[in-house]
Amino acid sequence: MEQIRYAIVGFGGIAENRIAKEGFALDTRRFNQQDLPMVLVGATDIDTGRKTAATALGLRWYDTYGQMLDDDTIDAIYVATSNSTHFPVAMKALQAGKHVLVEKPMTTSLEDANVLCEYALSQGLSVSVNLMMPKNAYNIKARELVRSQVVGPIDYAVIHMEFLYGEDPLEAATWRCALPDELGGPIGDVASHCLDMAEFLSGRQICSIRCVYYPKTLRIAVEDGALIIYGMQDGSRGCVRVGFNQPRGGSFATMDNLGYELYGRDGVIRGYGTTFQLSGHADEPMRIGLEVKTAVSEESISLDHVQNIYQAQIAEHAHSIRDNKPMDGRQGLHNVAMVLACHESARSGGKEIVV
């Protein structure tokens, strides 16, 4: 069947290395494009210096975003611009009749996210957000372990993404650290993923949030980090820890620390490197870990078959277009609501916010 044709707007490092090379399999040494329901054919960026990287991958370079939207051969737009521009860039794509897949957070306000979702629905267009960690085979396995109650019912979950970013002056000057309105600090950047993972692993939706910011140790304009206590619809609870001011040694130790602990009445399920950009491929810089530990046993789980998390996320969107079953964007809308609730709670001293 014919592949859905995508073009990407915003071609920074993540867009090049994770989305283009992995998600769309343009790194042909590692992946086979022919196996996918989608193909990336073009790119644009306000930084024309990114043209060389794009054309080196065989992509057509569009001098302007308008030129890209005028191309009738493009079915869908992948939005990888700065957070505050997600809404206007995505809306222009929808208004041009293109389906949209946008980086998280979907927008920086609930109002804008609602407008995107409602407009896409009215036009029969598919809109979704790149929250890709639930596509990790080890996280899928962890959810199966939770459902089968291998450690008994889960009493509490702790999901964390803590590392050092922003101590270097060049990092501190980036939009993630210097512009609070971008929602690019630890809450918008990585708590968004952690909260999404909390819902995925439990199979329940978060309905309330309490949050406090970490003590300030970095010279950055955004929050240094946050402790988030969330409540589920059934009364269960858990917490998320995120931080830009948390050194974790070298690169291996930092990646290994990105994961979760799921505490059951009879034991614990632990994930290592499971809340990151890894998929479990043999050539990645570290091996993802998943273990189940009880008072009488300990099992380290290794999977023979994994899928690339970016490919799986984009393929889900492409299939929705091909099957004429548009995605409604509500996952991204709810995620924005949780991110904003974290900030609202922290600014009011940890007050409970209903989402």
Rg value, the chain, Cα: 20
- Every domain of the chain with CATH number 3.30.360.10 lies at 133-308+341-345
Instruction: Say what the pLDDT of residue 35 is.
Output: 84
pTM: 0.96
- Every domain of the chain with CATH number 3.40.50.720 lies at 4-132
Instruction: Say what the pLDDT of residue 32 is.
Output: 87
Question: How would you class 322 by CB atoms within 10 Å of its CB: exposed for 0-12, middle for 13-18, buried for 19 or more?
Answer: middle
Question: Checking DSSP bridges between strand 225-232 and strand 206-213, what pairing results, if any?
Answer: antiparallel
133-308+341-345 belongs to CATH 3.40.50.300: no
Each of the 355 residues of the chain gets a pLDDT tens digit; together they read 789 999 999 999 999 999 999 999 999 999 988 889 999 999 999 999 999 999 999 999 999 999 999 999 999 999 999 999 999 999 999 999 999 999 999 999 999 999 999 999 999 999 999 999 999 999 999 999 999 999 999 999 999 999 999 999 999 999 999 999 999 999 999 999 999 999 999 999 999 999 999 999 999 999 999 999 999 989 999 999 999 999 999 999 999 999 999 999 999 999 999 999 999 999 999 999 999 999 999 999 999 999 999 999 999 999 999 999 999 999 999 999 999 999 999 999 999 999 9
Q: Which of 234, 289, 310, 259 is nearest to 78 (CA)?
A: 310
Instruction: Say what the pLDDT of residue 229 is.
Output: 99
| Residues 226, 206: Cα–Cα separation, whole Å | 17
| Residues 290, 284: Cα–Cα separation, whole Å | 16
Instruction: Say what the pLDDT of residue 34 is.
Output: 82
Phi-psi region of 58 (alpha: psi -120 to 50; beta: other; left: phi over 0): left
Check if the beta carbon of residue 74 is closer than 8 Å to that of residue 35. Answer: no
Q: Which of 10, 148, 135, 140 is nearest to 81 (CA)?
A: 10
Phi-psi region of 39 (alpha: psi -120 to 50; beta: other; left: phi over 0): beta
Write down how long the chain is.
Answer: 355
4-132 belongs to CATH 3.40.50.720: yes
- Other beta carbons within 10 Å of 215: 8
Check if the beta carbon of residue 38 is closer than 8 Å to that of residue 7. Answer: no
Question: Checking DSSP bridges between strand 4-9 and strand 76-79, what pairing results, if any?
Answer: parallel
Q: Which of 90, 124, 123 is nearest to 106 (CA)?
A: 90
Instruction: Say what the pLDDT of residue 33 is.
Output: 82
